[in-house]
Amino acid sequence: MDKFAARLVKSFNDKDLGTHDLDWVAKYRSDAINLVGNLGIPKLSDEDWRFTNLKDFASKDFSTFSGNEATFKKPKLPDHISSIDGFFIYTHNGILVSDSDYPFSFSKIKDSFDTPEIKETLYSQVSDKNKDFFYELSSAFIEDGIFLKVDKDIKIDKPIVIINSFDSEANLKFINSRNIFYFEDSSSAEIIEYSVSNSDNEYFWNKTTNVYVGNNSKVEHLLIENGSKSSFIFSNLKIIQERDSHFTTNSILCGGSLIRNNVHPMLNGEGCYSNILGLYLSIKEQLMDNYMFVEHLKENCGSRQLYKGLLDDSSRGVFHGRILVHEEAQQTNAYQTNRNLLLSDSAQVDTKPQLEIYADDVKCSHGATIGQIDKDALMYLQARGINKKKALAMLIRAFTDEVVEPIDSEKILDVFHNVVNDWFSRSKIMN
């Protein structure tokens, strides 16, 4: 067992997380911490981590966070977030601090372990094809986070906006969050997650969200990681979809010193569809590592991955996209695209598209590109009277806007464009 895993196992034992009034919770945590010890922190020799070196991160001694809800103050949010007409939920340093009457239910996950949907979701989203150290770590320390449920046939008419705020108490802390979003049959909702920090704290946030999308349900999800630029964020999003469901997730990654963004949809019912979209915006020394694993389990399903990177200075990006089509998943349509635009000579991207197909009646494709601004396109615009600065801005915006083409929600589209525009302004990319 490596030193990093050993420290976490000790913290687990010190917190006595291996015991719980519900036997299944105790076993779930204990099985997970055993896997944490056996797997050890990922190394460059691990195929799924071959482009991201965690040596410096593992040398840091983050202490386990014990939250204090009394310190919560509503964070200052940009206008394009605070002005959303939505149902706002707040977490502070990983702890749910909201209590409102909304047309859906939500509660602290540790107060809801006796809810059957939690156990069902946690155990149904296990795949032997995708073992991850940080997912197991999240399972071992499962306690803080949100259980959100939308009942059958309920259509939520405004976005659910989850604000994750961090303050100085998070500095040099290990914060573990586990969310479960459960959508019963024929329900629909839009979810926007936004992370913000009031200072440049160095914290380790291990964040996992499990999503269950029932038969004929539709969910659109936007994740905006815009917290401390010194933070280390390891995010797992696991989705299980049932028959005729439709799930779209879009990520905008712009905060964090290191972000590992894992997305794993499991298409488990005939006729369901997944859109897995993302935009990573990195500057200075940021590293953004995206691992997409789309698992087709049933026939007549479709998925689309479209991830784009915009990188400047000495930043780095990683895209590892994997499509697994099981033998039973005939008539699968699955597409994967990764495109990267480098704005400096020292920015770097590693990309690895991958197909693993065991069915014989499928349509699957993948592709990846890495390049710089097209000089011919720039010259073309300038030749038509557009100055160089504006022409450059037009090309970059056209590059980023493609990511949201599959999104139906006008509200999510507005938020996406406002967040990206705000990042352009703050990062001075186009100045």
Angle between helical axes of 3-14 and 23-39 (0-180°, round to 10): 160
Q: What letter would DSSP give residue 109?
A: G
pLDDT at 428 over 90: no
Q: What's the mean pLDDT in 193-216?
A: 95
pLDDT at 395 over 70: yes
Q: Which two tokens stand for residue 82?
A: 């605070």
Positive or negative CA dihedral for 398, 399, 403, 406? Answer: positive
Q: What's the mean pLDDT in 259-274?
A: 97
> Rg (Cα) of the chain, in Å, rounded?
21
The per-residue DSSP string of 12-65 comes to HHHTTTT--SSHHHHHHHHHHHHHHHHH-S--TTSGGGTT---HHHHTS-PEEP
Q: Which residue has the higher pLDDT, 358 or 393?
A: 358
Q: How far, CA to CA in Å, does 239 sit from each of 48, 162, 180, 404, 422? A: 19, 18, 10, 20, 29
Check: CB of residue 276 under 8 Å from CB of residue 305.
Answer: yes
Residue-level pLDDT at 127: 73
Q: What's the mean pLDDT in 86-101?
A: 95
Q: Quick one: pLDDT band at residue 430, thresholds 50, 70, 90?
A: low
Report the C-alpha gap between 210 and 177 in whole angstroms.
Answer: 11
Q: Which residue has the higher pLDDT, 154 or 404?
A: 154
The per-residue DSSP string of 343-400 comes to -SSS-EEEEEEEEEE--SSEEEEEEEEEE---HHHHHHHHHTT--HHHHHHHHHHHHH
Residue-level pLDDT at 351: 96
Percent of the chain with pLDDT over 90: 83
Report the C-alpha gap between 126 and 56 in whole angstroms.
Answer: 30
Report the C-alpha gap between 215 and 240 in whole angstroms.
Answer: 11
Check: CB of residue 349 under 8 Å from CB of residue 311.
Answer: yes
Q: Does residue 249 sit in helix, strand or coil?
A: strand
Residue-level pLDDT at 392: 83
Residue-level pLDDT at 199: 82
Classify strands 87-92 and 95-96 as parallel, antiparallel or unpaired: antiparallel
Phi, psi of 237 (to 5 degrees): -120, 115
pLDDT at 429 over 80: no
pLDDT at 431 over 70: no
**Amino acid identity for residue 318 in this structure:** V
pLDDT, one tens digit per residue, over 61-75 is 999 998 777 778 899
pLDDT at 35 over 90: yes
Q: What's the mean pLDDT in 385-401?
A: 86
Q: What's the mean pLDDT in 229-258?
A: 96
Query: Cα(first)–Cα(last) distance of the chain, in Å?
Result: 49
**Amino acid identity for residue 206 in this structure:** N
Q: How far, CA to CA in Å, does 25 sit from each of 19, 20, 116, 166? A: 8, 6, 12, 28
Check: CB of residue 181 under 8 Å from CB of residue 210.
Answer: yes
pLDDT, one tens digit per residue, over 46-66 is 999 999 999 999 999 999 998
Check: CB of residue 95 under 8 Å from CB of residue 144.
Answer: yes
Closest CA to 261 of 245, 282, 284: 282
Q: Does residue 76 sit in helix, strand or coil?
A: coil
Q: What's the mean pLDDT in 202-211?
A: 97
Averaged confidence pLDDT in the chain:
94
Report the C-alpha gap between 192 and 219 in whole angstroms.
Answer: 11
Phi, psi of 153 (to 5 degrees): 70, 5
Report the C-alpha gap between 121 and 126 in whole angstroms.
Answer: 9
Q: Which two tokens stand for residue 258?
A: 């290191």
Residue-level pLDDT at 219: 98
Distance of CA 35 to the CA centre of its chain: 22
Calculate the CA dihedral of residues 110, 290, 256, 403 and round it to 10 degrees. Answer: -100
Report the C-alpha gap between 350 and 352 in whole angstroms.
Answer: 7
